[in-house]
Structure 1
Amino acid sequence: MPDSSTTRPPRKISSIEAAALSVGFMGPVMAMALNGIGVADLVGTKVPFTFLVAAIGVVVVAYAFFRLTGKYAHSGSVYALTGVTIGPRAGFFSGFALLGTYLFFVTCIFGACGVFFNAFLATLGLDSSLPWPLLLLIIGALVWAIGSREAPLVTRILLLIGGFGLALMVALTVVVLVTVGAGNGSYPGAEHSGLDLGPLLPHGASGSAVMTASVFAFISWAGFESCTSLAEETRNPKRAIPIALMGSVILCGVIYVLVMYAQTIGFGATDAGAKAFAASESSLIDIALQYTNPFFAQLLAFSAFAVAFGSALSSTSAGARLLFALARDGFGPKILAKTRADQRTPRHCVTAVVVIALLLSLILLVVRAGPFETYYWYATIAVLCLLVAYAMTSLGALSAILRRTTDIPRWEMIFPVVALIYLGYVYFVQAWGQEAPYSYFPWIAGLWCAVGLGMALLRPDMARSIGDELIQSDD
């Protein structure tokens, strides 16, 4: 057997395959089935317009990643991007915040897999469901088995899962648009409404309600940066990764707005339709049952489970590669920084991420929380850590522009400035005025980030080699 090595794996992945990791992490079918419901409760029929506003916000936030990944290629994502632009300590702090995001996201997506698997069984008319502890272990084992393989295999599986789910959503969107456009809507208020463009326009929308609701829409793009973790395994990364990153953000943005428009007019572009939308438990499945047939709804329900599983696989892959980058610079047990020449993937880190996610899930079993609570509780903590990581990257881009360490024009500083304002607003909405247990989550996320800050300040040696580890050549 080959000796253990920390040599970086060969670059074999295309920009499309890298984008599959980001799209897989975001889980479009899962997002469209759940994330519009709370938005409809806040803005009524203006759900599509709200997602359009959120899409603009995400593009602004993604701009810093887009620009910096065109200059630096590193599997550490924000760890490297912040470290090279602000400094090693800031890099370690942002990387630690993003590591928390990935660990909590893997855990929450395990819960989503449980929710959608049991929902799929329900569409088959089966009243029984697998016990959550057993289902959790099965999902964890499958994620580990696939995630431990080489990155090209993982990304191709994600392409298959994501492509199937997107195809079903596009087909459903077309059916709803044609049906409602012909005046044959299935819900009260949608029968004779036609293709009302009002939900896409700002007229009549409450600015404060739209901005607040855009926070919940923003979650649909969480993890868009995960493809940056494949930079060291991608062909021509300084070109491929920016294309993959911004391409996945824009692609999902267009699809999200269209699908939310179809759902809004499908339920009916009226107050009654908005209430029906907000009262749904899985809006995409409900729309499919009304406008197609049970078989298509079953396919969509299975796709939602598959996409959730793909999201778990994506977040595990991204988390493992970030953990590997941190371990390579001295964080954690040395075994996490080792790969085998015949594996070409940080398998020890994949194992660590899956085990930690299973342990976090088991903690909630003690308080008798099921997959639904596992999803929403850990998702909230993950997003709060993610906002910190995104903000640090925006600060890094701003620093690079002001200090002229890159050739980015000074006028482009408007993008990271606006991104910081938007991210601050999103964090405020997530943290302020929540009820228990959600009122505890900002403290948990804050504690995680504080631990990272403490390590960065007290153990600067753990991040000292970040500059040496950055790949600054185009080979």
Structure 2
Amino acid sequence: MGAYILFGVVTSSAAGVFGTAFLQESGVWPHPARWSPFVPVAVALLAALALSMSPAKRGPRVLLTVEIATLALILLVSTVVLVRLISGDAPDGHRFTLRISQVEPGTDWSALFLGTVFGFLSFAGFEAAATLGEEATEPRRDIPRAILGTAIFGGLYFVYVTAVEVMGFGADGAGLRTFAASPSLLGDLGRSYLGVWAGNAITLGTTVSAFGCCLASVVGASRVMYALFRDGLGDRGPGRVSAIGTPGASATLVAGAMGLVILVCATVFAAQPMDTFVWSGTMGTLILLVAYALTTVGGIWLIFVRRVMPVAAWEVVIPLGALAILGYTLFRSVVPYPAAGAARWFPVVAGA
């Protein structure tokens, strides 16, 4: 629940950053003030609260349509960028390179773990479908499919798009500095490689996508809070559902907690949404790692010790293979790479 609350802060902050960038780039708000990103942040939280209190199917249907359109546009732009990189027709002389997956000499551990936070944030939420287990028609069939499908698609999608983004800006120092300073990575690439319309469309779509992730975080946290209170204190307070069968009290508390974190960061620490994004993302990732570790230990206990959850032998190969790749990647992040060859870049790509 803590991880989902912090990820709600992360994604609403992202909606504020992308939303402000869209308003600025489209000329609607050409000179936004320093406080401007907090306006779309507040809109995202209030809209997520309203949709999380409505029947479960209503909000996701609208968001799914927008998400599919946005994903299609992002993949289209990424493919165009990749083709121009390979053909040598990219702006500023950028070209296709595998250097993007090489850890630069002198990179310290703080930078490495900050990149790891981004990686976990990209995948975080694949398990969120489980929070709707009591509302799904066929939970034992649909939820495992949703979790596995999200993990597979998310893995392929984020590795591909992130690699193209880095190459599109340039894998050298100047390109990475531009990459880090960009308020909308694919939006800027769309404007450079396709045209202004593509950049604005992607920035708007990314704003809606960030809002969708915020909604998922509110829904997930509110369902977990509802279950905890219901099982512990009974059918009252946050453990009570509304007349339409949604945990409205829990959703209100969750959205309020997200808003409180953002308010404290903005007033006490004078943080902008991007700062709040990084801080909350790091804390949420650490909490999620603890949850994943405990879940893994529990799974091992139930499957191999108690033997109450029979699992086909071939299914064990996947996590063992992933652990082997992870261990080798961490080893190669410390031990120097060979001078040249595929071994120089393969471990990081495989680890990603």
Give the TM-score, by structure 2 length.
0.80
State the match for 2:307 in structure 1.
Answer: 404
Cα drift, residue 397 of structure 1? 0.7
State the match for 1:344 in structure 2.
Answer: 245
Q: Which amino acid aligns with 1:311?
A: C
Q: Is contact 1:111-1:375 (8 Å) kept?
A: yes
1:222–1:201 Cα change, 3 Å: closer
State the match for 1:156 in structure 2.
Answer: 61
Q: Which amino acid aligns with 1:379?
A: G
RMSD of Structure 2 on Structure 1 (CA): 3.4
1:214–1:353 Cα change, 3 Å: closer
Output the CA distance in 1 between the equivalents of 2:68 and 2:229: 34
Q: Is contact 1:398-1:417 (8 Å) kept?
A: no
Output the CA distance in 2 between the equivalents of 1:109 and 1:321: 18
Please tell me whether residue 217 in structure 1 is matched to residue 156 in structure 2. no
Can you list the C-alpha shifts for 1:160-197, whole angstroms capped at 9, x where unaligned? 23212211111101211222233211123x2xx4x54x
Size of the aligned set, in residue pairs, is 322
State the match for 1:382 in structure 2.
Answer: 284
Cα drift, residue 106 of structure 1? 1.4
Mapping 1:26-105, distance limit 5 Å = 99-105=1-7
Please tell me whether residue 182 in structure 1 is matched to residue 87 in structure 2. yes
Q: Which amino acid aligns with 1:249?
A: A
SS of the residue 2:57 aligns to:
helix
| Stretch deviating more after TM superposition (295-304 or 105-114) | 105-114
State the match for 2:208 in structure 1.
Answer: 306
Output the CA distance in 2 between the equivalents of 1:369 and 1:344: 37
Output the CA distance in 2 between the equivalents of 1:145 and 1:232: 20
Please tell me whether residue 167 in structure 1 is matched to residue 75 in structure 2. no
Cα drift, residue 199 of structure 1? 4.7
1:261–1:363 Cα change, 3 Å: closer
Output the CA distance in 1 between the equivalents of 2:142 and 2:196: 41
Cα drift, residue 346 of structure 1? 1.3
Q: Which amino acid aligns with 1:354?
A: A
1:397–1:410 Cα change, 3 Å: farther
Mapping 1:103-118, distance limit 5 Å = 103-118=5-20
Runs of at least 5 residues in structure 1 that lack an aligned partner in the other structure: 1-98, 430-475
Q: Is contact 1:144-1:350 (8 Å) kept?
A: yes
State the match for 1:247 in structure 2.
Answer: 149
Cα drift, residue 281 of structure 1? 4.3
Can you list the C-alpha shifts for 1:387-422, whole angstroms capped at 9, x where unaligned? 111111111111112221111257866737976996
* Bigger relative contact order, structure 1 or 2 (CA pairs below 8 A, ≥6 apart): 1
Can you list the C-alpha shifts for 1:413-448, whole angstroms capped at 9, x where unaligned? 67379769969x99xx9xxxxxxxxxxxxxxxxxxx
1:279–1:203 Cα change, 3 Å: closer
Give the TM-score, by structure 1 length.
0.60
Select the residue among 3, 12, 32 that pairs with 1:128: 32
Output the CA distance in 1 between the equivalents of 2:244 and 2:170: 52
| Stretch deviating more after TM superposition (164-173 or 328-337) | 328-337
Q: Which amino acid aligns with 1:310?
A: G
Can you list the C-alpha shifts for 1:213-272, whole angstroms capped at 9, x where unaligned? 445322211121111111122232112111100101111111112212322332345565
Cα drift, residue 287 of structure 1? 1.3
SS of the residue 1:232 aligns to:
coil
Select the residue among 244, 257, 279 that pairs with 1:356: 257
Can you list the C-alpha shifts for 1:319-350, whole angstroms capped at 9, x where unaligned? 1111111111115992211124x412212211
Runs of at least 5 residues in structure 2 that lack an aligned partner in the other structure: 334-352
Output the CA distance in 2 between the equivalents of 1:262 and 1:143: 31
Can you list the C-alpha shifts for 1:17-59, whole angstroms capped at 9, x where unaligned? xxxxxxxxxxxxxxxxxxxxxxxxxxxxxxxxxxxxxxxxxxx
1:418–1:168 Cα change, 3 Å: closer
Q: Which amino acid aligns with 1:176?
A: V
Output the CA distance in 1 between the equivalents of 2:237 and 2:41: 26
Output the CA distance in 2 between the equivalents of 1:207 and 1:136: 33
Output the CA distance in 1 between the equivalents of 2:125 and 2:182: 25
State the match for 1:335 in structure 2.
Answer: 237
Output the CA distance in 2 between the equivalents of 1:283 and 1:251: 20
Q: Is contact 1:187-1:266 (8 Å) kept?
A: no
Q: Which amino acid aligns with 2:85?
A: V
Cα drift, residue 123 of structure 1? 0.7
Output the CA distance in 1 between the equivalents of 2:55 and 2:20: 30
Q: Which amino acid aligns with 2:65?
A: L
Output the CA distance in 2 between the equivalents of 1:356 and 1:331: 21
1:409–1:361 Cα change, 3 Å: same
Q: Which amino acid aligns with 1:309?
A: F
State the match for 2:346 in structure 1.
Answer: none
1:332–1:313 Cα change, 3 Å: farther
SS of the residue 1:405 aligns to:
coil
State the match for 1:320 in structure 2.
Answer: 222
1:265–1:398 Cα change, 3 Å: same
| Stretch deviating more after TM superposition (240-249 or 161-170) | 161-170
Output the CA distance in 1 between the equivalents of 2:81 and 2:203: 17
Q: Is contact 1:394-1:417 (8 Å) kept?
A: no
Output the CA distance in 2 between the equivalents of 1:420 and 1:359: 41
Q: Which amino acid aligns with 1:155?
A: P
Q: Is contact 1:336-1:348 (8 Å) kept?
A: yes
